[in-house]
């Protein structure tokens, strides 16, 4: 396994955003706040307005943590999806990101982030966190808003590179992207206050529980034995691992090795 910490080179102007509205913007016009969805996104107020509607929906849907809502409001999801899908970036839907993988839907990202934070550390924010399955880097960016340090590992080189490109303009020096098999965790960064997996297997790899700090929490999809998946929370307590099975979810499979 090769692992490397990325550099986060200099600022890339956010005018590198999708250019669907650039003709209008070029005439010095700020595009009007769009009707809900299906409008070109990418610059200025329109993306803020659509994103704040997404956050309102998340709050109505049961996300209560102010920290999580702020994180969801500050990370621009449309920068993490392909230009052709930009209009759907703030709908509550997963979207393809290449190599057969998907960016999770916003409600799932918010839900998992909120679970990871838990009641106890919701105030202060999390310490060090490991994400397994960087994908396009969106969840890693959200985690970067609620945790002091984030390690995110991806087994597909193409997506690891994509996430690096997506995150570079955000200059998040505390978000470290790694290329490798996340089933092994990332021992060098352990112990983790939180581990979040964005891909689901039939069992939780031992390495994840080993690398979890005492008092830490793991949130991951896991096969339910009937062909589906459920969200699983594992708390590491002095009395052992406490497992809580939550709602049904639908994540891409957790695979071993790199490609
Ligand atoms: N959090 C991502 C979701 C990506 S989908 C986002 O915000 O976009 C889940 C990702 O997990 C896929 O990119 C897949 O390649 C990756 N994955 C699956 N098994 C893995 C493993 N063992 N180690 C690291 N990444 C893995």
Q: In the chain, what are the domains? A: 94-249 (3.40.50.150)
Residue with the nearest Cα to atom 11 of ligand 1? 133
> CA-CA distance, 170 to 137, in Å (whole number)?
11
Average pLDDT over residues 27-54: 61
Mutate to test the pocket of ligand 1, among 97, 136, 155 (most ligand atoms within 8 A of CB): 155
Its pTM stands at 0.85
* Residues whose CB is less than 8 angstroms from the CB of residue 95 and which lie 6 or more positions away in sequence, other chains included: 81, 85, 88, 89, 102, 103
Tally Cβ neighbours within 10 Å of residue 174: 13
CA distance 40 to 90: 12
200 CA distance to ligand 1 middle (Å): 9
Residue among 109, 134, 221, 256 whose CB has most ligand 1 atoms within 8 A, to mutate: 134
Query: Which token pair is 100?
Result: 């057969």
Asked whether residue 16 carries a pLDDT value surpassing 80, the answer given is no
pLDDT value at residue 18: 27
The finding on whether 200 has its CB within 6 A of some atom of ligand 1 is no
Give the separation between CA 21 and CA 253, rounded to whole angstroms: 36
pLDDT band at 125 (very low <50, low <70, confident <90, very high): confident
Catalytic residue among 52, 104, 107, 256: 104
Rounded-to-integer distance, Cα 159 and Cα 177, Å: 11
Catalytic, 104? Answer yes
């Amino acid at each position: 396994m090769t692992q490397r910490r990325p550099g986060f080179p200099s600022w890339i102007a956010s005018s590198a955003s999708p250019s669907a509205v650039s003709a209008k913007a070029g005439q010095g016009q700020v595009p009007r706040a769009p009707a809900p969805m299906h409008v070109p996104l990418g610059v200025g107020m329109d993306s803020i307005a659509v994103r704040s509607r997404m956050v309102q929906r998340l709050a109505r849907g049961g996300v209560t943590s102010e920290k999580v809502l702020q994180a969801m409001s500050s990370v621009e999801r449309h920068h993490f999806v392909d230009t052709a899908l930009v209009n759907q970036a703030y709908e509550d839907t997963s979207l393809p990101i290449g190599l057969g993988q998907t960016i999770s839907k916003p409600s799932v990202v918010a839900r998992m982030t909120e679970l990871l934070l838990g009641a106890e550390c919701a105030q202060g924010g999390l310490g060090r966190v490991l994400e397994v399955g960087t994908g396009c880097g969106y969840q890693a960016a959200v985690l970067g808003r609620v945790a002091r340090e984030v390690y995110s590992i991806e087994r597909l080189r193409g997506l690891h590179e994509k996430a690096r490109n997506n995150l570079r303009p955000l200059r998040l020096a505390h978000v470290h992207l790694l290329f490798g098999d996340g089933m092994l965790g990332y021992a060098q960064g352990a112990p983790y206050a939180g581990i979040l997996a964005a891909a689901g297997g039939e069992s939780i790899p031992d390495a994840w529980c080993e690398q979890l700090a005492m008092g830490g929490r793991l949130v991951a999809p896991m096969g339910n034995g009937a062909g589906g998946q459920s969200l699983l929370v594992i708390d590491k307590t002095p009395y052992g691992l406490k497992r809580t099975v939550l709602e049904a979810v639908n994540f891409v499979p957790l695979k071993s090795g790199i490609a």
